[in-house]
Structure 1
């Protein structure tokens, strides 16, 4: 159970990071296009 929770936690964190990076990337693209 601990292992499963650890995997889910890591997956959750990586998903959050991905969202943040995607948002940052989108902002940068908008700024470059403007």
Structure 2
């Protein structure tokens, strides 16, 4: 069962990470469009 919990935690962590990155990208574009880094 440890493997199952590890897989679920890994998938949830990846999804949360992607969502956070997307939100940060949207906030950056929404606040400053001229700043490109």
TM-score normalised over the length of structure 2: 0.80
Question: Which has the larger share of helix?
Answer: 1
- 3-state SS in 2 of match to 1:20: helix
Which consecutive residues of structure 2, in runs of 5 or more, have no partner in the other structure? none
Report how many residues are paired.
33
Which of structure 1's runs of 4+ aligned residues deviate more than 2 A? none
TM-score normalised over the length of structure 1: 0.86
Which consecutive residues of structure 1, in runs of 5 or more, have no partner in the other structure? none
